[in-house]
Amino acid sequence: MDEQTADNERENILRTKKYFDSWRSYQKEVGTHFAELYANCGSALDKELSGRVLDVGSGGILNYHQELAQRLVAVDYSVEAIDRRAYPPNAVLVQGDGMRLPFRSATFDCVILQFLMHHLASYNHAQTVHNVQRCLEESHRLLRNGGKLLVVESCVPGLLEWGERLLYPMTRRLLKMIDRPMVFQFSVNSFHQIIQSQTTDTVGVQPISIGKFISQFGLKVPGWLSPCQIRLFKAVKP
């Protein structure tokens, strides 16, 4: 990575951190406009959790039954807006980078990546894909044999993903003007190919209902109006 590329990457990471440090209303939205969506995601995760669990980029939102985990470690790049007092006795919050996780290999039985991938967007599409691959590689590294990689992600139809790629430079400049981090949503097929490329495991895909209502730009709107497709991608390490 050359110096200019590294500077661009650092700039985007800092903008993302600043955004989430100041976005204290998100947890309120999770309890209102996003409540049904997160409950549906939690129900899907509850069926998979056991042993030592790592939750990467949770934002302090533990929408599953934490008691299913023998030990729960939540990692977030931005921890200032997270209320540590809400964590159960078996959980700990650690500040860290999802692409450089500070743990020994083969440490966890489950790794959760919930609504994190689209926030790994960088200054161009190629670097965005690289960041996602790096995060998946790190997460897979930390799994014990038989461990589960559980990725809950918001995807879009293929045509919208193509439009995102076409407008990537324009979108990045616009978001930079209003001091917002870049985001990028993959289609289900594209993301399945990416996650499959980082593991020899068979990757299963499970649809999750978006719910009756969600939040778009802070406004409560019917879920059917959203183009997003919520999926749980699951891979079991041999």
The H or E element containing residue 143 is strand 143-155
Paired residues of 230 in beta bridges: 154, 208
pLDDT tens digit string along 23-64? Answer: 566 667 777 778 899 999 999 999 999 999 999 998 888 999
- Region class of 157: left (phi > 0), else alpha (psi between -120 and 50), else beta: beta
Question: What is the value of pTM for the model shown?
Answer: 0.91
b/e map 190-204, b = 16+ CB within 10 Å: bbbebbeebbebebe
Report the share of the chain in percent with pLDDT over 70. 87
Q: What are phi and psi of 76, to 5 degrees?
A: -145, 140
Contact 124, 168 (CB under 8 A): yes
96 to 27, 36, 101, 102, 218: CA distances (angstroms): 20, 29, 6, 7, 28
* CB of 188 closer than 8 Å to CB of 150: no
Domains and CATH numbers, the chain: 9-107+118-142+149-211+223-236 (3.40.50.150)
**pLDDT per residue rounded down to tens, the chain (238 residues):** 556 556 666 666 666 666 666 656 666 777 777 889 999 999 999 999 999 999 999 888 899 999 999 999 999 887 777 777 778 899 999 988 899 999 999 999 999 999 999 999 988 999 999 999 999 999 999 999 999 999 999 999 999 999 999 999 999 889 888 877 889 999 999 999 999 998 878 899 999 999 998 877 667 888 998 999 999 999 999 8
User: What is the per-residue pLDDT across 181-197, written as a single tens digit (0 to 9) for each?
Assistant: 889 999 999 999 999 99
Distance, in Å, from the CA atom of 231 to the CA atom of 212, rounded to the nearest integer, reads 16
Residues whose CB is less than 8 angstroms from the CB of residue 151 and which lie 6 or more positions away in sequence, other chains included: 112, 113, 114, 117, 136, 195, 232, 233, 234
